[in-house]
Structure 1
Amino acid sequence: MTDATYATMDEAACAAFLREEVVPEMHADPECDRRPDAEPPTYRWLNGHYPGFVKHLQREFDASPADFYREHVLDGGEDDDYDWGLPDGEAAERTRNRLEAHLDELRYRGHPETTIRPYRARLKKYVQLYCDLHGPDLLDGLRDESRRAEEIDRAFTVCKVLDRTLQTPAARRKYVEDVRRFYRELVDAGYISYNPMRRMETRLGLDVPEWDNPSLSERDVETLWAEADTRRERLLVVGLCGWGLRPSELAALHVRQVVLEPEDDDYPFLDFRDGDRKNGPGTVAMLAGADVLDARLDAMADRDGWTGYVFPSEHAEAGHVHVDTLRRWFADLVARTDVTVRGEAPTPKYGRRFWYSLYGEAVVEVAERFTPVAEAQGSADANVVLENYLSEADRRMHLREVMADSLEGLFT
């Protein structure tokens, strides 16, 4: 979007832009350390992604981006009669009704509005593009198996347009995942016969490794662990590389989130279900290195006036160290080793990427385990078995087993 386009936006349009463009991008961008439903984006992040929009806010409304975000996203509401931007007519009305019914079902299941709003914004963007390209009825062709190839191509065309407008592979994948979820629930409810988004990542090339996002290698992690000579540094390596936490999540970790002896789980875990996490699972299993956190908590408990933060700070208003402090600790540890990635010193996000690379390998390995089952079911793809025949608990169990084997021995 050009600066000239921003210049035409009034206050309501700017607020809608934040809700429908910026918030979904924050959710999708792993480099954004802010939770969109609780805090505004940092100036650096927002200006890096939308510099023209930032200038427009400052020039036209004499408002800081953070204050404008708080007023219009965190404190402001939206009309109950949501504008999907669809044309008039029966076909568009059928589409609108299905979208609203889907969101109502999510609310019935307990999904909060803070997660529904960005999800709805992503669906809206897809639906509007579909209507612009193919007409206002998303569902008619999906009831007819003879039109499967045509409808999959239509969805692919929409996704190619989205692909050119979104800034990161993570954001593109998020749109595909959300739209696929909408279609999947319509299939489950019997409204349509098939899901046109089922293998869309492959067609878009989004299942290709992101070579521009390098990670630490297993040898790098071993080197950093061997060099870590304090509980704080060991916990730094384990939290980033062994649990896949964001730097901001690790910096703010509190004892109330730590479950070292769970009653109904095979592994200790961290509980983020009170809204302490931007997105992703509400719990994080500690498949390795839980003893490191246990030792750190024992040491902290002996301190006078300890407030429960794993990395406390007497000076910070939040009560815990700032994420920049954690980054500095990590840089100090790296500086004592010969670890580099593409000739540069890695930052904490490289450790989180290491965890994700292991997770990706675990998904492939689990899928390969079920190849014989898939063949017996008449499918050429083992992922079909994982998606349709295994319960969520069983999938999680198999993935944890593989991940635990991968992490075994790294943090001992």
Structure 2
Amino acid sequence: MSGGQTTIRWSRMSLEELQSFWTDEIEPALERAGVDREERPAYQQVADAGYSGIAYALREHHDMTLTDFLVTVGYEEPGSSASYQWGIEDETTIDELESYLETLDRRRQLARSTVQTKQSRLATYARIYREVHGQADLVDRAADATNESDEIRRALVVFDELNYELGTDASKLRYLSDVSQFYEHLGRRAKAAFNPVEHIDEEYNWSREEPDNAALAGRQVSRLYDAAESQSKELVVLALCAWGLRRNEVAALHTSQLVLEGEDPHIEFGDERKNGPGTVALIYGVSDLSDRIDRLEEDPGWSGYLFPSSRSSSGHITGETVQARFQRLAEDAGVRVQGELPTSKMGRRFWYTTYNQAMKNLRENLDVIAAEQGSSDSSVVMKNYLSEEERRQYRREFMREQLEDVFEG
């Protein structure tokens, strides 16, 4: 039976009758339509099969969404949105919001707290949208290109509210980023013809400047390293914090770049690096790196990437995956910077602050030698009494001491 052949009196059914009707009628119809019975069906699939009326009946007579109802008939709760109350009625929008969050959780492997924060921001946007425009049919309106002008206007009204309610420009920009990424997700799946919030930041005088270049403290890096339960996770922390690499550089590290023998172990970079060709000294962590290579070489099909990925056409993970793994470690270790999970960039900043401290310690030691030579300037000793090789050796020794205190302390 389909909803197009017989009038279904949804409003007269009790919850138990709706559950029986689902099992006896709707599930078989969905299966005939090619929907996998092992997966939770989306509202649109239910509607396409001719049973869209069940969502209205659940909402109006049983105070439930379709998502809530599906849990009562044996489907698993959505992984990142379980029992979450979106505060809107549009089932298509709820389905797509939950699908997006599941993608962040499963494919991009973001930390759970990050996904929950994005969920909260998206729900706030959707609720305000419903309050000022009557219903939160975000997906349907963005699917039709002829709606673009009107939908941009509607989005502006919502952000006018957020602009008034939120305290800082940084908060407003985070909301905008999360909403924009949701629409981009819809676009990649051919479910949105445009992104109505793409240029909204140009309407406001929001500043993107960071109040300061926040970095991780040494004790926080220690906790991150201690929380790493695998060789791969340890190497992420080392690459970001002990070698000062960018996340995309970490993702694409290959054995062809590594020089581990001799007194000057280092990583070589070509023209693809942001600041041009050069080398990065491996002052600490060479043994960990060698152990990682030994482990990977056990696989006869290994491509040489330190963070390989069989699902990626490049053969290695992405910079976003490095970021996600770093933030999951931070979540496990209970590490926060200014109340937020640290980014991979903060690992690189830690390297710079640590190096500056090492150079300060070196200058303080050279001050003693300078005083014995009758000079008050340690740079005189560095320049006139030490060769370039000796200066490099001293810099590395002092930096190694700083890193040992962090990773072995």
| TM-score bracket for this pair, using the shorter chain length | 0.3 to 0.5
TM-score, scaled to structure 2: 0.45
